[in-house]
Amino acid sequence: MNTSHLLADLDAVGTIRMTARCLNALYRLQTFQGNAKAQLAELAQGHFGMVIDRDFQIMELEGQVEQLQG
């Protein structure tokens, strides 16, 4: 999407202000995205650990069932 015609309609000060606002918005977006990725990675690690623990519990219970059947 080409918006250069919008900047051409503004004076020099308006162009600088608009550019600063856009760069600020871009910075905030990138910051929010970084925080979201960090939270997602933390949740994934927590769930992975929980799956490993459950898998271990299942293996222990299977061993106990085999002992009871044998």
Q: Are 19 and 10 in contact (CB under 8 A)?
A: no
pLDDT at 58: 96
pLDDT at 28: 98
pLDDT at 2: 73
Residue numbers of the chain with a pLDDT score lower than 50: none
pLDDT at 51: 97
pLDDT at 8: 65
DSSP string, 3-57: -HHHHHHS-HHHHHHHHHHHHHHHHHHHHHHHHHHHHHHHHHHHHHHHHHHHHHH
The count of residues in the chain is 70
Domain residue ranges in the chain:
4-69
**What's the CA gap between 14 and 27, in Å, rounded?**
20
